[in-house]
């Protein structure tokens, strides 16, 4: 019996039947083999993909640089591993960790074997442990501090107003009380943002459609941004209602559009979209479970640098010059959305600008 032939059959059967997604390409990227798990995940039948290039899975979520680095790595003979967002046949997106192994024969690369690792659990854990716990800890601390400071400022402002009332309006001392009042009120504003971040601000929830909120804000946003920036609004016709504090959500949108304005140097555009999102038909965000109404705000600015991205929701984190940024816009937005039991995410688009996505749970 020829053992080598048997082994070949066994390996082929194993690759075909194992519940791990595999595919093999030649050095040009032409697909030579996909297994059943691949068909099940992507929705493509074997005969539809054999001979094609894996870029049929391209979602547009990664830029050309990303693919170039991938190719540079594997064509050198190294293993490439990375998170990638791909597109199924039906157009829905999925996230995966892909490992691509160059397979050599006589020292030369002949094939590439790509194998998918399911990382939805991992992402869920990362999400729970890292960013949100850090913000949770800062929130507790900031909340206590802000609470005490707020009480103090209330006393200062109240007393100053009473003292001012007793003084002659043209006296130097009266001028001083006004200065103290002005700066105390500015500080109270900062403290208020911190209180919002720490979810210590009371909210008035009511049933509302996010489309209505955005329609009401059209003029407000146009006033806030310069006339060189075009505003596009695209509202879903069948957006489901959510339970929200209207003024707080307006605050979140204003904070994000203000940042978008700052990120756009000169001319550009801001696009606001709404849509329904269900965790059933997409596993792009494994930590989102259920049905959400989403507000998406995308800008054509410079995007958020990789090293900045993990910090943007921290209070007082700003990359703007002194006097321009307080670093409280996104942290208060974060607090507000948390208090709505929603989720706010920041990403960069493949075109370069930033995208903020706000997920609010729909009323069942
Ligand atoms: N649309 C955006 N494009 C690029 N960077 C952004 C964008 N939005 C926020 N950022 C980054 O996040 C930081 C924090 O934002 P924020 O909390 O609003 O504070 P501030 O605007 O006062 O700096 C900003 O300083 C900026 O570096
Ligand atoms: Mg800001």
- Whole-model pTM over 0.85: no
Whether the predicted pLDDT of 249 surpasses 80: yes
Whether the predicted pLDDT of 329 surpasses 70: yes
What percentage of residues in the chain have a pLDDT greater than 90? 65
43 Cβ closer than 6 Å to some ligand 1 atom: no
Band the pLDDT of 281: cuts 50, 70, 90.
low
Question: Who wins on pLDDT, 256 or 284?
Answer: 256
Whether the predicted pLDDT of 201 surpasses 90: no
325 Cβ closer than 6 Å to some ligand 1 atom: yes
Query: Average pLDDT over the chain, rounded to whole?
Result: 90
Whether the CB-CB separation of 21 and 35 falls below 8 Å is answered with: yes
Whether the predicted pLDDT of 3 surpasses 70: no
C-alpha 346 to ligand 2 mean position (Å) = 13
Q: How many CB atoms lie within 10 A of CB 346?
A: 19
The pLDDT, as a whole number, for residue 12 is 84
The pLDDT, as a whole number, for residue 6 is 81
The pLDDT, as a whole number, for residue 54 is 93
Whether the predicted pLDDT of 11 surpasses 90: no
176 vs 140: CA distance, rounded Å: 35
Whether the predicted pLDDT of 1 surpasses 60: no
Per-residue pLDDT of 45-103, as tens digits, reads 999 999 999 999 998 888 888 899 999 999 999 999 888 888 999 988 888 889 999 99
- Tell me which residue has its CA closest to atom 12 in ligand 1: 312
What percentage of residues in the chain have a pLDDT greater than 70? 94
Question: Who wins on pLDDT, 216 or 64?
Answer: 216
Q: Where is 80: in which H helix or E strand? A: strand 80-87
C-alpha 15 to ligand 2 mean position (Å) = 51
Probe residue for ligand 1, chosen from 318, 334, 347 as the CB with the greatest number of ligand atoms within 8 Å: 318
The pLDDT, as a whole number, for residue 350 is 77
Whether the predicted pLDDT of 234 surpasses 70: yes
The pLDDT, as a whole number, for residue 322 is 85
C-alpha 318 to ligand 1 mean position (Å) = 6
What does 299-361 look like in DSSP terms, one character per residue?
A: E-S----TTTGGGTTSTT---SPTTT--S-HHHHHHHHHHHTT-EEEEEE-TTSSEEEEEEEE
How much is the average pLDDT of 101-116? 93
283 Cβ closer than 6 Å to some ligand 1 atom: no
The pLDDT, as a whole number, for residue 133 is 80
Whether the predicted pLDDT of 283 surpasses 70: no
The pLDDT, as a whole number, for residue 77 is 93
The pLDDT, as a whole number, for residue 85 is 87
The pLDDT, as a whole number, for residue 342 is 95
**For residue 349, which ligand has an atom nearest its CA?**
1
Whether the predicted pLDDT of 282 surpasses 60: no
- Who's near 256: CB < 8 A, 6+ residues apart? 297, 329, 330, 333, 356
How much is the average pLDDT of 125-131? 66
C-alpha 75 to ligand 1 mean position (Å) = 38
The pLDDT, as a whole number, for residue 124 is 65
120 vs 128: CA distance, rounded Å: 12
Question: Who wins on pLDDT, 298 or 145?
Answer: 298
C-alpha 259 to ligand 2 mean position (Å) = 5
164 Cβ closer than 6 Å to some ligand 1 atom: no
Dihedral (CA of 352, 353, 355, 356) sign: positive
Burial of 142 (0-12, 13-18, 19+ CB in 10 A): buried
Q: How many CB atoms lie within 10 A of CB 119?
A: 16
31 vs 46: CA distance, rounded Å: 10
82 Cβ closer than 6 Å to some ligand 1 atom: no
* Among 130-134, 342-346, 352-356, the least confident range: 130-134
């Amino acid at each position: 019996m020829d053992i080598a032939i048997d082994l070949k059959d066994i390996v082929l059967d194993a690759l075909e039947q194992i519940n791990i997604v595999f595919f093999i390409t030649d050095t040009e990227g032409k697909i030579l083999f996909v297994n059943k798990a691949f068909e099940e995940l992507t929705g493509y039948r074997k005969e539809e993909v054999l001979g094609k290039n894996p870029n049929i899975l391209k979602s547009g979520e990664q830029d050309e640089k990303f693919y170039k680095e991938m190719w540079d790595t594997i064509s050198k003979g190294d293993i490439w591993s990375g998170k990638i967002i791909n597109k199924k046949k039906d157009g829905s997106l999925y996230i995966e960790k892909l490992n691509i192994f160059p397979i050599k024969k006589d020292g030369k690369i002949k094939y590439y074997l790509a194998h998918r690792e399911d990382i939805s659990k991992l992402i869920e854990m990362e999400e729970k442990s890292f960013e949100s716990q850090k913000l949770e800890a800062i929130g507790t601390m900031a909340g206590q501090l802000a609470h005490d400071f707020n009480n103090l400022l209330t006393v200062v402002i109240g007393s100053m107003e009473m003292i001012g009332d007793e003084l002659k309006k043209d006296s130097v001392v009266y001028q001083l009380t006004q200065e103290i009042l002005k700066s105390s009120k500015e500080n109270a504003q900062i403290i208020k943002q911190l209180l919002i971040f720490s979810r210590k601000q009371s909210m008035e929830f009511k049933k509302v459609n996010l489309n209505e909120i955005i329609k009401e804000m059209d003029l407000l946003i146009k006033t806030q941004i310069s006339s060189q920036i075009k505003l596009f609004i695209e509202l879903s016709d069948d957006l489901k209602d959510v339970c929200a504090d209207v003024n707080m959500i307006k605050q979140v949108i204003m904070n994000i559009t203000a940042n978008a304005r700052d990120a756009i140097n000169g001319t550009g555009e801001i696009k606001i979209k709404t849509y329904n999102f269900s965790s059933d038909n997409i596993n792009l965000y494994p930590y989102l479970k259920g049905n959400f109404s989403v507000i998406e705000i995308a800008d054509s600015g410079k995007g958020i640098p990789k090293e900045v991205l993990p910090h943007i929701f921290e209070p007082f984190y700003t990359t703007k010059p002194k006097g321009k940024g307080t670093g409280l816009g996104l942290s208060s937005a974060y607090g507000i959305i948390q208090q709505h039991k929603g989720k706010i995410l920041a990403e960069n688009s493949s075109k370069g600008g930033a995208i903020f996505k706000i997920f609010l749970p729909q009323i069942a």
